[in-house]
Chain A
Amino acid sequence: MLVSYLSERPYRGLLEDDILRNGGFFGMPNEMFDRDRGAADYNFYLDEYLYAEAVGFDGLALNEHHGNPFCMGAVLDVEAAILARQSSTAKIVLIGNALANRHPIRLAEELATIDVISGGRLVSGWVRGAGPEQFFNNMNPAYNREYFEEAHDFIIQAWTRPGPWRYEGKHFHYRQVNPWVLPLQKPFPQMWIPGNVSLENPIWAAEHCYPFIGLATALSATCEMWDAYADRAAELGYQAGPENFGYLAPMVLADTEERAQELGRNFYYAGGHTGFAKAGYAFPPGYNSPSAIRRLARMPRDTWLGANRVVLELERQGKSPVVSDVEAARRKAESTYAKAQTTLQTIVGTPESVLPKLKTIMEVLRPGSLIIGGVLGNVSNEDRMRSVQLMGECLIPEIKAHAAKLGLVDSFERIPGTVKLQPGENRAPVADRKPLEALGLA
């Protein structure tokens, strides 16, 4: 079992009401960015990562988002490069680079540099990027999947095919491919694929024998993704197991239950991830596959008429409609927070009180990799550090012991795709839904 720590690196200098009035984090005007505050936050988060390594985390996980204070990490490879030099033993786990939003030749060089400097500790995850990212980077969402796959295939070639050579693809073109620095790990670093509820990503990951990471998804839906992955793996002749799966569990710990609950509200500060962006940015045209659109189309929706003229005019001007009922938005966030604890998608408490919940997740999903997601919102440095300390000192030993008991090997202990199935042999289960029934989460 590989246990990693992830922080969203939230900017902590804003009033919650300002974000709620904006209708979400994305598109908050950057005139509200205080440069001194931002500098202090960035440096603290790097220190926090190094502390996580010191207290026992096996991996330091980074993600990125753009144009908003929810996650300041806009160029995760820069932070990864710093950690490559400053950390010692932990894997540097990227979950991940948005392949559609970067020039792949530059990515190949950046990632190789990080792997070389870190002494071969890079885990290079790939994501498609959230909806707002397509607007921020002006990358055509209708070609997102094509960009993703072409960039992926190109980077593999760039790391494995002796150069120089010329590349003429559909979306990318290079006169001379010959990255001088290649990854230290041969043939290249492990690649992990994080995802939400779409079944297309786990199936794609299975086709490449890449570990798939559920991003705090509902447990029953996660089981469905695991099954989709394992079914495809079986078709391709291998048995998926814990080495093929990882799970992100958002968590904050404190010395008392009351204090932990107080801090945990920050997971839904200004709506949390549910308030990331307004609806128009969430599902850009062409970003979703026709089958995903069909699922969306079946959801109950509003009528066409009755659109608010003021809102439309603001949208035309590229401005976010102002949310007038801030208290209602806050109540919605509170309610989401309460529900997320019952579904185990947000874990809050003392080490003793959260351990049974974590064990349940491990028993249901059987992941070889666990990524603990640090708290969001406006939490002080001291409270954040204490939470990381409690995770490392009190929880990680228990997690590892339980993982050993369950046989949860990670992708370094057993290479994904190496457990072969004979033709006609049925695959073994990859998840155990029984505990969910008792919790009413099936």
Chain B
Amino acid sequence: MDSLFQHTTVDVGGIPVAMLRGGSGRPLLVLHDELGFAGWMGWNRTLARDFELLMPLQPGFGVTPRCEWFECYRDVGDFYHRMLREMDLGPVDVIGFSAGGFIAAEMAVACPDAFAHLVLVAPLGVRPKIGEIADVLALTVRSHVALTVSRVDAPEFAEIYGGAMTTEQFELFEAARAETSRLGWEPFLYSPSLPHRLGGLNGLPTLITWGTEDLVVPRSCVDIYEAAIPGALRADIDGAGHRPEIEAPEEFLTSVCSFLSQPALERNARV
């Protein structure tokens, strides 16, 4: 793991949240996906040049203890809002991946002023009108992980998962999938009300990015996000799967860095 990366703990209502912090600059909240933190990768290193990455490890994913009262992703969002308030972080930029995008969207609709920029990467959270969210919980861990990329020989994917599956990896993935099951089993990884609530995000600069070969989140999901969030920008990445940050890091970073460099609107400019 990169030496720029530090393990810290933030107490939130008695839950010691493991928080990985790396880089320097404007704070950027990073919400990992439903499989948990994958490791300090190229896109982390690049963003860490201009941002301080704040990466909470979701409760129940094997490192941060479970929060017994969580019942849905909205609860996780409320919990993270409390964490941001208690860390005295003003409007921050946020990037959420897959289920982390779902959480980021829930947080944004609950309190848009908490964020300066919102980046959703292949976000779960809405029911597609065409196709279905892949039933990743009906797969073995191995198949689930492999389904997240369009090419299992993508360089960074091979770097992380190229060896034998370790006992620790297996246990962490199973913990992550169990917590994902608790939060998202029914309805499956979406909230029926979220599309209706997204309309309230007037003026929050939002970027939605998605790989055109995504096998987990159908195109229809991101179309719904794009249509529901006023003024949302869209950056599809040709040929990438569910993890464009791994499969097409250059295109991914170009979109994200360009977007985050745009000034956030003043609070009173939001309508």
- A residues whose Cβ falls under 8 Å from a Cβ of B: 135, 138, 140-143, 279-281, 283-286, 288, 290, 293-294, 296-298, 301-307, 311-313, 315-316, 318
Q: Answer whether residue B87 sits at the interface, using C-beta atoms and an 8 A cutoff.
A: no
**B143 contacts which chain A residues (CB < 8 A)?**
280, 307, 311-312, 315
Cβ 8 A contact of B177, one of A285, A301, A316: A285
- Nearest CB to that of B135 among chain A residues? A318
Question: What is the number of residues of chain B that contact chain A, defined by CB distance less than 8 Å?
Answer: 35
The distance in angstroms between the C-alpha atoms of A290 and B60, with both chains bound, is 12
Task: Evaluate contact between B135 and A142: CB separation under 8 angstroms.
Answer: no
Between A and B, 29 residue pairs with Cβ closer than 8 Å are A138-B186, A140-B182, A140-B185, A141-B185, A142-B178, A280-B140, A280-B143, A284-B181, A286-B177, A286-B178, A286-B181, A290-B175, A301-B142, A301-B170, A304-B145, A304-B146, A304-B161, A304-B162, A304-B165, A305-B161, A306-B152, A307-B143, A312-B147, A313-B215, A315-B143, A315-B147, A316-B134, A316-B216, A318-B138
A304-B146, A307-B143 are known contacts. Are A285 and B165 too (CB-CB below 8 A)?
no
Bound state CA distance, A294 and B182, in angstroms?
Answer: 20
B86 within 8 A of A: no
Q: How many A-B residue pairs have CB under 8 A?
A: 98
Asked if B223 is an interface residue, CB under 8 A from chain A, the answer is no
**Which positions 18-42 of chain B face chain A at CB distance < 8 Å?**
none
Q: Are B152 and A140 in contact (CB under 8 A)?
A: no
Contact with A along B164-178 (1 / 0, CB 8 A): 110100110011011
Nearest CB in chain A to that of B166: its residue: A297
Alpha-carbon distance A297/B216, docked complex (angstroms): 25
What's the Cα separation between A297 and B170 when bound, in Å? 6
Give the Cβ gap from B214 to chain A, nearest Cβ, in Å. Answer: 10
B180 on interface, CB distance cutoff 8 Å: yes
Residues of B with C-beta under 8 A to A312: 143, 146-147, 215
| Residues in B neighbouring A297, C-beta threshold 8 A | 167, 170-171, 174
In chain B, positions 23-67 with a C-beta closer than 8 Å to chain A are none
Q: Which 9 A-B pairs have the closest CB atoms?
A: A286-B178, A304-B161, A285-B177, A307-B146, A140-B185, A142-B181, A297-B170, A285-B181, A297-B167
Chain A residue contacts of B162, Cβ below 8 A: 303-305
What A residues does B185 contact at CB under 8 A?
138, 140-142
**Chain B residue at smallest Cβ distance from A288:** B174
Q: How far apart are the CA atoms of A313 and B150 in the complex, in Å?
A: 10
Other-chain residue from B152, B165, B170, B175 in contact with A307 (beta carbon distance below 8 A): B152
B263 at the interface (CB under 8 A from A): no
Residue among A281, A285, A304 having the largest count of chain B Cβ atoms under 10 Å: A285
Complex CA gap A298/B185 in Å reads 27
Q: What is the chain A residue whose CB lies nearest that of B176?
A: A285
A315 to B158, CA, bound (A): 22
Q: How far is the CB of A392 from chain B (nearest CB, A)?
A: 42
Are A281 and B171 closer than 8 Å at their CB atoms?
no
Residues of chain B touching chain A, judged by Cβ–Cβ distance below 8 Å, are 132, 134-135, 137-140, 142-143, 145-147, 152-153, 158, 161-165, 167, 170-171, 174-175, 177-182, 185-186, 215-216
* Nearest opposing residue in chain A for B160, CB measure: A304
Residue of B nearest to A321 (CB): B143
Once bound together, how far apart are the Cα atoms of A286 and B167, in whole Å?
A: 17
Residues of A within 8 A of B137 (CB): 284-285
For A315, the chain B residues whose CB sits under 8 A away are 138-139, 143, 147
- For A313, the closest partner residue in chain B by CB is B215
Q: List, in ascending order, chain B residues with CB within 8 A of A285's CB.
A: 137, 174, 177-178, 180-181
Min C-beta distance of B98 to chain A, whole Å: 15
Partner of B165, one of A279, A288, A294, A302: A302
Q: Which residue of B lies closest to A306 (CB)?
A: B152
Q: Least Cβ distance of A310 to chain B in Å?
A: 12
B138 touches A135 (CB 8 A): yes
| Bound complex: CA A412 to CA B144 (Å) | 48
Docked CA distance A290–B178 (Å)? 10
CB-CB under 8 A from B145, the residues of chain A are 304
Q: Which of B146, B175, B182, B216 contacts A143 (CB 8 A)?
A: B182
Report Cα–Cα, A287/B77, bound state, in Å.
Answer: 25
Contact of A298 among B147, B158, B167, B215 (CB under 8 A): B167
B221 shortest CB reach to chain A, Å = 14
Name the B residues within 8 Å of A135 (CB-CB): 138
Q: How far is the CA of A298 from the CA of B168 in the complex (A)?
A: 10
Given contacts A312-B143, A316-B134, A318-B135, contact A305 B152 (CB under 8 A): yes
With A305-B153, A312-B143, A316-B147 as known contacts, state yes or no: A286 contacts B182, CB within 8 Å.
yes
Chain B residues near A294 (CB, 8 Å)? 167, 171
> What residue in chain B is nearest A318 (Cβ atoms)?
B135
Whole-angstrom CA separation of A140 from B186 in the bound complex: 8
Nearest B residue to A135 via CB reads: B138
Distance in Å: Cβ of A307 to nearest Cβ of chain B:
4
CA gap between A302 and B169 in the complex, in Å:
13
| Cα of A129 to Cα of B24 in the assembled complex, Å | 51
Q: Are B165 and A303 in contact (CB under 8 A)?
A: yes
Whether B138 and A280, one on each chain, are in contact in the complex, defined by CB atoms closer than 8 angstroms, is: yes
CB-based nearest A residue for B162: A305
Contacts of B134 in A (CB 8 A): 316
